[in-house]
Amino acid sequence: AGSFVGNATFQNQTTMSNGQSDALTLLLGRRGELQTVFSSGASWDDSYSAMAVNARTNEIFIIGTFTDDGTKITLGPLTFNSIYSDFSAMIKMDGISGSFVWKRVDFGNMLPNKCKVDASGNIVVAGRFTGTGT
């Protein structure tokens, strides 16, 4: 997981950014072969800040921050409209097929920068807060 600007091609798969910089995810097989590549983003700077893997279930969790001007946002194949200019999101992927399972958008004023899966399978997200929270 990372970020890019413009077009990015990996083997025979090309993805294009939606705005200035977009978040980028590559899913590689056990031998390093490319299985899936996708971008996520809105009209401004977007990036993934952390990812975690549940080794027992092969689930992948990716978190990031996005900046938008009210247009549509894509998280891989998922598209939605933002009601905030700055927000955070988490996606859950199946680590075997590369398919999306769900998304969670907006952690309030939290800007997440770390995530992990604990021994019970819970997702733990850490970050910093801006402004006030309730």
Q: Report the C-alpha dihedral over residues 110, 45, 4, 62, rounded to 10 degrees.
A: 20
Residue numbers of the chain with a pLDDT score lower than 70: 1, 42, 68-78, 80-86, 106-109, 132-134
- pLDDT for position 64: 80
pLDDT of residue 84: 61
- Residue 97: its pLDDT value, please? 78
Q: Give the chain's mean pLDDT.
A: 78
94 three-class SS? strand
Burial (0-12, 13-18, 19+ Cβ within 10 Å), 120: exposed
Supply 2's token pair.
């990372």
